[in-house]
Amino acid sequence: MAIPSLSSESERSPHRLPATTKSPATHHHHYRVDFPAWGKHPKSLYKRYLFLPNSKANLNMTGASRDVPKYDIVIVGAGPVGLMLSTCLARWGYKIKHIDNRPEPTKTGRADGIQPRSLDLLRNMGLKTHIMAHKPARVFEVAFWDPVSKGDGIARTGTWASCPSFIDARYPFTTLLHQGLIEQVFISDLTKNNVNIQRPWTISGFTSDVAQDPEYPVEVQLEHQDGGAQETVRAKYLFGGEGARSFIRNQLNIGIKHKDPIEHVWGVMDGVVRTDFPDIKMKCTIHSPHGSIMVIPRENNMVRLYIQIASSTDADWNPRKTATEADVQASAKRIFQPYHVEWDRVEWYSVYPIGQGIADRYTLDHRVFLGGDACHTHSPKAGQGMNTAFLDAQNLAWKIHLVEAGFAHRNLLATYETERKHVAEALLDFDNKYAKLFSQRPDAATEAQAASRNGQADAGDNDFIRAFKESCEFTSGYGVAYKSNALNWSPEHPAQSPLINPSGSKLRTGRLLINANVTRVVDANVVHLEQEVPMNGSFRIFVFAGKPSKTSRALSDFADGLQARNSFYATNQRSDIDMVSYHETHNPHSHFFTICTIFAATRSSIEIARDVPKLMARYRDHVYADDLWDRRVPEAKAAAHAKMGLDEEKGGVVVVRPDGYVGVVVGLAEGSGTVDALNEYFASFGAKQARLSAQL
């Protein structure tokens, strides 16, 4: 079945699908837990349903027949994880009920660090410019201060790049900005898509029963914080992003497993200071005979100070131990000696305990999900909380989208927990080690200076500095690696095609696509290849086409294979394909794929009409010349091909998931082999493709 030519000028958003799109037929299960006996975990997820009553609402199991409002998803909590999830789904046309128990967005305090990988994501969503408009602080280096060898006081013992040069980052710095301003960027985007946060409302109960209502199985009871109003709604999904004290997690009887029994009480203070401390505009970790402190520069001349007040290792440990604002300031003054510090004003101050824990499960039935601090808690020192929350939400959003749009099997949702829980476990491993080292008193300072250029820890570094350096890839966000599964076909995957994972490839499935600069053919613009397709729910199919003279036949066969009646591509065409605008850039044929073609040739030598098959030429704005020099592969004639480890003559095909992570790498070959391999890949989780394969 050939893809028809596109000539209509009718305009339609390529990023949205109707909210009423039905999922493919699935087998539904339900389970029950009888309240209030929450001490026992459900023995099985089958033949039961979850019942969580609300004492103020009349909840009977005929709720499906009542005339209640229906939503695609109810999101509880308007912190980073809830806002990211809501923003993604709202852009794709889903009907959202989003509540938060606070009367207004964050006014002071909370998270403030955006790591390099998160900036990539925000740029891909078109939100980075709005973040940077607030002129956040940028941290390029971290300074380490330790006790001096003789006498009292501290001295700088080294510095280290926040994102060292061995990490190929577009934005090699940490951005620091008040969480309330970050939230407002998302809230403004939600408003454009007709989603408003309902405040101050909270959740008081919910049920999940697919046998009762297969389409909207989740019934949610909501109430105003003052108890004066209640509301019952139905939804396809419920998401708990309401923090470490998650009501939803507790009602699901999902436990928290603590990485380490050691707990800490921290004081955190945001304010404007006057000081002669030379590194006040840098991120600093300071160890002194009087205690430890972390310095975080902020926007508008502010600085954040983290001070450990108590630890469960202390002889007089008290988890409720607190300290006044004046106590913390006095402690900070002692730690900063021989430097002086005075406060012009204090913007925010808080004392809170921190434990390192991870939820046993992120979901029980793939209808009710948890994310962010509801799943994992850790210390604030490495600046990972908000960033991990962003990626939790992004991971879940596109998977819900593919299921609800009918593209993927519902069991794809199981990969949310397996992928994101693995990341959280790695985060807690790092945080546990980092927090212990931060709390220790190191030996007296040496004269050793960190050498950030070589990407290795100095022999003279103490354990804390060495741990920091070795963890930079992880803390920057680029170290996230998802294990092999239906989405990530590593060399160990039992796929049959010999074209899958060609030898020489430097790409690792489950890792981000390697950054590359290329020249866009239609307008000669130099662009970031990994940013060319926005976060719109589509798979990005990067066809590294090598030399046109060598791959002409293979490209033609590839295009023919895509048009075959049972191919993954043809079976997922848009229903309105004959009305798509000529100017549609990313999704002219399918909501689920964007094809990018990259030639190992100069721009001036490429003619789209001559060198690109007709189907692929429809993506004329996604045809590129790999003709730019790159310092990481200085001898390469086609740097993007070389960075990916793909043959500069023969090329290869890279499927990148909607979240930017590599799914599978396939050789570009003459004949049907390349598309056959991709058919096998998408059939492993794609609903339509799998059904067609079963019929053959």
Is the predicted pLDDT of residue 300 greater than 70, yes or no? yes
Q: Where in the chain is the domain with CATH 3.40.30.20?
A: 517-695
The CATH 3.30.9.10 domain(s) of the chain lie at: 137-176+261-354+440-478
Cα distance from N-terminal residue to C-terminal residue, the chain? 16
Q: If one looks up domain 517-695 in CATH, what number appears?
A: 3.40.30.20
Residue % of the chain over a pLDDT of 90: 69
Confidence tier at 470 by pLDDT (50, 70, 90):
confident
The answer, yes or no, to whether residue 285 has pLDDT greater than 80, is yes
The yes-or-no verdict on residue 457 having pLDDT over 60 is: no
CATH superfamily of 137-176+261-354+440-478: D-Amino Acid Oxidase, subunit A, domain 2 (3.30.9.10)
Quick check: 288 pLDDT over 80? yes
What are the residues whose beta carbons fall under 8 Å from the beta carbon of 680, sequence distance 6 or more? 495, 496, 497
- Residue range(s) in the chain whose domain bears CATH number 3.50.50.60: 50-109+179-257+358-425
Distance CA(662)–CA(658), nearest Å, equals: 9
Write the pLDDT tens digit of every residue in 636-684: 999 999 999 999 999 999 999 999 999 999 999 999 999 999 999 999 9
The residue with tokens 């402690």 is 331
What pLDDT band is residue 233 in, cutting at 50, 70 and 90? very high
Structure tokens at 281: 């505009």
- Considering only 206-210, 546-550, 688-692, which range has the smallest mean pLDDT? 688-692
Residue 560: CB atoms within 10 Å: 16
d(CA 353, CA 319): 7
The confidence band for 6, taking pLDDT boundaries of 50, 70 and 90, is very low
Reduce the DSSP state of residue 97 to 3 states and report it.
strand
Average pLDDT, the chain: 86
* pLDDT at position 35 over 50: no
Q: Could you report the per-residue pLDDT of 8-19, keeping only the tens digit for each? A: 333 333 344 443
Would you place residue 458 in the very low, low, confident or very high pLDDT band (cuts 50, 70, 90)?
low
Mean pLDDT of 609-625: 98
pLDDT digits (tens, 9 = 90+) for 634-649: 999 999 999 999 999 9
Report the pLDDT value the prediction gives residue 312, as an integer from 0 to 100: 64
What is residue 445's predicted lDDT score, i.e. its pLDDT? 47
Q: Which pLDDT value is given to residue 494? A: 83
What is the SS3 assignment for 258?
Answer: strand
| Average pLDDT of span 328-341 | 95
Higher-confidence position of 460 and 17 = 460
Q: Is the pLDDT of residue 507 over 70?
A: yes
pLDDT at residue 341, as a whole number: 97
Contacts of 425 (CB under 8 A, 6+ apart): 358
pLDDT of 53 above 70: no
Give the pLDDT of residue 122.
98
Q: How confident is the model at residue 460 (pLDDT cuts 50, 70, 90)?
A: low
pLDDT in tens, 64-85: 446 899 999 999 999 999 999 9
419 confidence band (pLDDT: 50, 70, 90): very high
If you average pLDDT over residues 112-141, what whole number do you get?
96
pLDDT in the model for residue 385: 86
The SS3 of residue 546 is strand
For residue 45, the model assigns a pLDDT of 33
Q: How would you class 384 by CB atoms within 10 Å of its CB: exposed for 0-12, middle for 13-18, buried for 19 or more?
A: buried
Is the per-residue pLDDT at 695 higher than 90?
A: no
Which residue intervals of 569-666 are DSSP H helices? 608-611, 614-617, 639-644
pLDDT tens-digit series, residues 138-148: 999 999 999 99
pLDDT band with cut points at 50, 70 and 90 for residue 381:
low
Superfamily of domain 50-109+179-257+358-425: FAD/NAD(P)-binding domain (3.50.50.60)
pLDDT in tens, 543-585: 999 999 999 999 999 999 999 999 999 999 999 999 999 999 9
Q: Band of the pLDDT at 689, cuts 50, 70, 90?
A: low
Find which of 163-167, 278-282, 469-473 is predicted with most confidence, using mean pLDDT. Answer: 278-282
pLDDT at 226: 93
